[in-house]
C-alpha cells in the first residue's frame, strides 16, 4: 500500500512539473505572437493631381515613401481623390486596413475635419500637410507660411504701387490656405487708403478656372493696376487672360509656390514680377515624420512651417530648376 502511494505521488509530481513547463512555454509564445513581425504601413491620402503643384507633391510623397520602404522597411498605401467625399471614403479604408499612421492633405479643411477626428478616435497618429483642419486631430502639421505669403505679397504691392492702386485677388478653394493667404494680404494693404481690392474670386488653384474667372473680371473692370493670385498655377491662367485681352493697364501679377513657368516669366521680364515659395517638397518632411511616428517616436514639434521666401528678378536664378516637373 505504501509503495502504491509513493508511485502515485511520483506521477503527480512529474505531471505537475510538466504542466508548469507547458504553461510557461505557451505564455512566452503568446507574447511573441502579440508583438507581430515588425511590419508597419503609412497611409497617404492626397487630392488628385488637378494642377502642377499637386502633381509635384504627389511625386515627392511617393519618392519619399519609397525611400522609407527601402531604408526602414516601412510599407505605404497611397490614395488620391478628386472630391472631399471620395477622400473621406479613402481614409475610412485606410483606418479599416489598420495602417500605423496617416498622412493627409485635406481637399477642403471644413469637410475633412470630421475625418481627422475619426482618425484620432481610432488611435492613429495623423500628419496633416498644407491645409489645416478645424480641430486638434492632427499629431503634426507640415505647411508653408501661408499668412507670410499674404503679408509679403501685400507689402510688395504697397511698395510697387506706392500705396495706391486697384487690385484684383484670385483665391483658392475653401481651406485654411486660402483664408490665411487672403487674411495676410489684407492685413498688409488695409492701412493704405489709396489701395482697393476691386474684385476677389476663386480660381480653385486651377489654371483653366483662373483663366475663365479673370476673363470675366477684365470685362467688368476697365482699370486694374495689379493682380494678387494665391497660387502660381492660377497666375499662369490670369496672365494668359490678360494677354488675350490685350490689356496694358495691369502693371504686374504675383503668385505663390515656385513654379518653373512663373520663374521663367520673371527671368524674361514678363508680367509676373514676384512669387513666394511654397514648395510641394514639404510633403517629404511629412512622410519622414510619419515614418518616425510609425516606429513609436515622439514628434519633435507639432507644427513645421516652411519659409515664404520672396522671389523676384534679383534672386530668381537661385531657385530656378530647368529640370523641375513643377
Domain boundaries, the chain: 40-144+280-306, 146-256
* pLDDT digit string, tens, across residues 145-203: 999 999 999 999 999 999 999 999 999 988 888 999 999 999 999 889 899 999 999 99
Q: Which residues contact 164 (CB under 8 A, 6 or more apart)?
A: 192, 194, 195
DSSP letter for each residue of 252-305: EEE-SB--HHHHHHHHTT-SEEEEEB--TTHHHHHHHHHHHHHTTPPPS-SEEE
User: What pLDDT score was predicted for residue 191?
Assistant: 83
User: What pLDDT score was predicted for residue 281?
Assistant: 87
Cα distances (angstroms) measured from residue 286 to each of 37, 83, 137, 167, 280: 25, 22, 15, 35, 11
Indicate yes or no: pTM above 0.75: no
Task: Report the percentage of the chain scoring pLDDT > 70.
Answer: 88
CATH class of residue range 40-144+280-306 = alpha beta
The low-confidence residues of the chain, meaning pLDDT below 50, are 1-38
User: What pLDDT score was predicted for residue 174?
Assistant: 86
Decide whether 40-144+280-306 matches 146-256 in CATH topology.
yes
User: What pLDDT score was predicted for residue 321?
Assistant: 82
Fold of 146-256: Rossmann fold (3.40.50)
Q: How far apart are CA 209 and CA 220, in angstroms?
A: 17
Decide: helix, strand or coil at residue 127: strand
Q: Which residues of 98-123 are buried (b: 16+ CB within 10 A; e: fewer)?
A: ebbbbbbbbbbbebbbebbbbbbebe
Amino acid at each position: 500500500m505504501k509503495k502504491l502511494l509513493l508511485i502515485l505521488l511520483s506521477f503527480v509530481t512529474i505531471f505537475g512539473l510538466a504542466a508548469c513547463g507547458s504553461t510557461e512555454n505557451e505564455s512566452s509564445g503568446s507574447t511573441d505572437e502579440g508583438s507581430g513581425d515588425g511590419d508597419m504601413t503609412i497611409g497617404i491620402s492626397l487630392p488628385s493631381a488637378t494642377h502642377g503643384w499637386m502633381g509635384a507633391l504627389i511625386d515627392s510623397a511617393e519618392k519619399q515613401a519609397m525611400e522609407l520602404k527601402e531604408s526602414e522597411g516601412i510599407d505605404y498605401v497611397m490614395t488620391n481623390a478628386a472630391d472631399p467625399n471620395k477622400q473621406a471614403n479613402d481614409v475610412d479604408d485606410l483606418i479599416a486596413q489598420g495602417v500605423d499612421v496617416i498622412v493627409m492633405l485635406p481637399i477642403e479643411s471644413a469637410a475633412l475635419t470630421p475625418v481627422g477626428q475619426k482618425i484620432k478616435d481610432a488611435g492613429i497618429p495623423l500628419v496633416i500637410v498644407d491645409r489645416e483642419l478645424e480641430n486638434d486631430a492632427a499629431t503634426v502639421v507640415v505647411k508653408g507660411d501661408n499668412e507670410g505669403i499674404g503679408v509679403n505679397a501685400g507689402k510688395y504691392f504697397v511698395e510697387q504701387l506706392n500705396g495706391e492702386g486697384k487690385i484684383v485677388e484670385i483665391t483658392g478653394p475653401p481651406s485654411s490656405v486660402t483664408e490665411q493667404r487672403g487674411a495676410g494680404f489684407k492685413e498688409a494693404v488695409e492701412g493704405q487708403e489709396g489701395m482697393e481690392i476691386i474684385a476677389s474670386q476663386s480660381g480653385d488653384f486651377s489654371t483653366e478656372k483662373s483663366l475663365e474667372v479673370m476673363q470675366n473680371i477684365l470685362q467688368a473692370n476697365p482699370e486694374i493696376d495689379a493682380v494678387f493670385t494665391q497660387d502660381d498655377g492660377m497666375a499662369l491662367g490670369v496672365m494668359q487672360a490678360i494677354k488675350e485681352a490685350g490689356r496694358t493697364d495691369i502693371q504686374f501679377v504675383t503668385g505663390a509656390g515656385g513654379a518653373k513657368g512663373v520663374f521663367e516669366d520673371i527671368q524674361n521680364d514678363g508680367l509676373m514680377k514676384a512669387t513666394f515659395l511654397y514648395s510641394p517638397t514639404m510633403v517629404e518632411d511629412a512622410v519622414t515624420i510619419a515614418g518616425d511616428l510609425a516606429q513609436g517616436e515622439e514628434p519633435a514639434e507639432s507644427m513645421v512651417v516652411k519659409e515664404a521666401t520672396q522671389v523676384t528678378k534679383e534672386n530668381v536664378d537661385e531657385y530656378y530648376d530647368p529640370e523641375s516637373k513643377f
